[in-house]
A and B are shown apart, each in its own frame.
Chain A
Amino acid sequence: MAMNNTETLDMSAVGSTTGSRRSIVALAATATRDFIYLLAVLCMSIIGFVVWVTGLSLTVSLLILIIGFAIWVGTAYAFRATATVDRHLAGWMRREPIPAIYTKPSQRGFLALVRSVTRDPQTWKDLGWIVLNSILGFVVATVALTFTGLVLAYITMPLWWWAISDPHTQYATLNLGIYTVTSTGWALVTTALGLVLAPLAFALNRGAASGHAAVAAAILGPSESQRLHARVRELATTRADAVEAANEQLERIERDLHDGAQARLVALAMELGMAEEELANNPDAARESVRKARDEALNALGELRDLSRGLRPALLQDRGLGTAIEDLAHRAPLPVTVTVTGEIEDTPETVQTAVYFVVAEALTNTAKHSAATTARVSIERTDTAIGATVLDDGRGGANPQGSGLAGLHKRVRALDGRLDVISPPGGPTVVRAEIPCA
């Protein structure tokens, strides 16, 4: 939107000569693009023809044998490869990539593969497209390219007409049907004719290329139902991941409680029990036991506090994400700078919590493993998403599959977001999460 506005302003500010020169360049670029596209379509229509005729005839003739199934899968993959090239071409033409949705086999094994390939609606759409393209694409591209070639030949006639010699007259002539080019004069007339026809060729190419690309997009792109199916599959996966992440978290909490606070309370109770016994005949030992018991009580309190903070950071609920992130930065054992852009406090609470834990985990890893001297946290809120980036100057080599990061990955994915961990050996490490939110 913004780009277009500035362009229009530029056009009016600059003189009309520059403007028209620019538009001529743009026209030439479009024409070249169309031309290249149609050339590619011509090639692909021929390749597609070979693919479908060979693939289908082999499959049909061998289907009574087991090998026919293998040939069928191979054929379907050949369709897929051909369609993928066409999809990229049409995407390039339309300046908008065409998404491809293929069903993945739900189980391993050859039969499952055969079944999934056969049931995938896209296999049949691919086949339909390849057959259609091998006829329609061929015709459209041939007509448009032949006409274009003719116009180009007309325009350039003065340069080469003399090279064509008429076997009957022994003179250099060229019969165009209406008249015969026998001199440079006639050749120049032909150039004029070519220039008159040029816009027509341009329009024909334009229509052929964009029309072809539109049909390709319609057939090769996913249908609404394919899109919904893919979305449902994705949601099922992320939901399972979310449940798993929650389970892992519960396990971790139970482990933490068992190893931490519970063990300390057992030790505390034991010390107090011994102190009670020692009170009468060994007051010094009793005092020592009571002191130990108090230390254990304090340690248990600390561990419970850390645990509850890990579950539901109070500051995040009370003061929002900005303050909570600042707090994380302050508590980190290394200097951390925090930059926040946009209105982050409008973000939904679940998203804020996820962002908080991404930053918390990343900073914990930085402090524990990276040997970094500083770290930077930046939170950016746009109209449609919130991004969180944690960058450190440490030695890198973090394992993105590590349990902490894997859990975060699931958490972020469940919110339709993505988490990227870039940590080459030698550093630096960048952890970036992006979660869509209105």
Chain B
Amino acid sequence: MRVIICEDHALVRDGLERLLGNHGFDVAASVDNPGAFLAAVKRERPDVCVVDVRLPPSFTDEGVKAAIEARRQIPGLPILILSQYVEQTYARELLTGGEGGVGYLLKDRVADPKQFVDAVRRVADGGTALDPEAVARLLGRPERQGRLELLTPREREVLSLMAEGRSNSAIAEKLVITERAVEKHVSNIFWKLDLPATSKDHRRVLAVLAWLQTAD
């Protein structure tokens, strides 16, 4: 699997190259600025990209802008964004468009190589990987509590894991319940939140997010 890394801190970039290399990724290019990233994406057509949010020249949200631009040029290009902070606005901007293959993780997640690599693979396969912290914050916002109060604690747990991009089997494994039980929770959630049920993993996340952004 071919990956492009865009990260301006040499230390972190080297670490990511080694980490992904150790897990069988082929690092096609490793760059430190948005311009070089877009050029490399065009040239290499990678299977997945790992991009830092803060990049030169202004060190604000160049990574998000570069990711959106790259996906405009190559629709559906899987991109995992890494950030020191979780900003809901960025998550929404990345997910607008409705295609999968998007991830948004805190940089802290690289401390667990296995989970991190799983997330990269999930994004590469067209799934989503939202950071648990981002999900927790989205679900924890008081003004959203109205509809969410209808959910049982178990259903909330399932919703969080869904939003992180986990499949039903992964959720089942994590919560130590059967896959059938998960399916039941999921359809309950969709019903309680008035969401049309769909089959694809990332559609579920997008639906949840869309609801979170618009509902009052």
Instruction: Give the B-binding residues of A (Cβ under 8 A).
Output: 255, 258-259, 262-264, 266-267, 269-274, 276-278, 296
Contacts and interface: CB of A to CB of B under 8 A. Distances in A.
Task: Determine the interface band of chain B, counting residues with CB < 8 A from chain A.
Answer: 20 to 34
A236 B75 CA distance: 52
A263 B12 contact: yes
Q: Pick from A264, A269, A272 the residue with the most CB of B within 10 Å.
A: A269
Interface in B29-65: 54, 59
B22 interface: yes
B112 interface: yes
The majority secondary structure among interface residues of chain A is: helix
Given A258-B84, A277-B22, A270 B12 contact: yes
B18 interface: yes
Given A262-B84, A266-B108, 13 more contacts: A258-B84, A262-B107, A263-B11, A263-B12, A266-B9, A266-B12, A266-B107, A267-B9, A270-B19, A273-B19, A273-B110, A273-B111, A296-B11
B180 interface: no
15 contacts: A258-B59, A258-B84, A266-B12, A266-B108, A267-B9, A270-B12, A270-B15, A270-B16, A273-B112, A274-B15, A274-B18, A276-B113, A277-B22, A277-B113, A277-B114
The majority secondary structure among interface residues of chain B is: helix
Given A255-B59, A258-B54, A274-B22, A264 B11 contact: yes
Contact of B9 (A259, A272, A273, A274): A259
Nearest to A271: B15
Contacts of A274: 15, 18-19, 22, 113
Interface of B: 9, 11-12, 14-16, 18-19, 22, 54, 59, 84, 107-108, 110-114, 116
A272 B111 contact: yes
B3 to A, nearest CB: 15
A391 B111 CA distance: 49
A334 to B, nearest CB: 30
Nearest to B16: A270
Contacts of A273: 19, 110-113, 116
A195 to B, nearest CB: 84
B189 to A, nearest CB: 33
Contacts of B107: 262, 266
A272 B116 CA distance: 14
B8 to A, nearest CB: 9
B114 A266 contact: no
Q: Pick from A258, A262, A266 the residue with the most CB of B within 10 Å.
A: A266
Nearest to B22: A274
Nearest to B114: A277
A298 to B, nearest CB: 13
A277 B111 CA distance: 11
B97 to A, nearest CB: 28
Nearest to B116: A273
A269 B59 contact: no
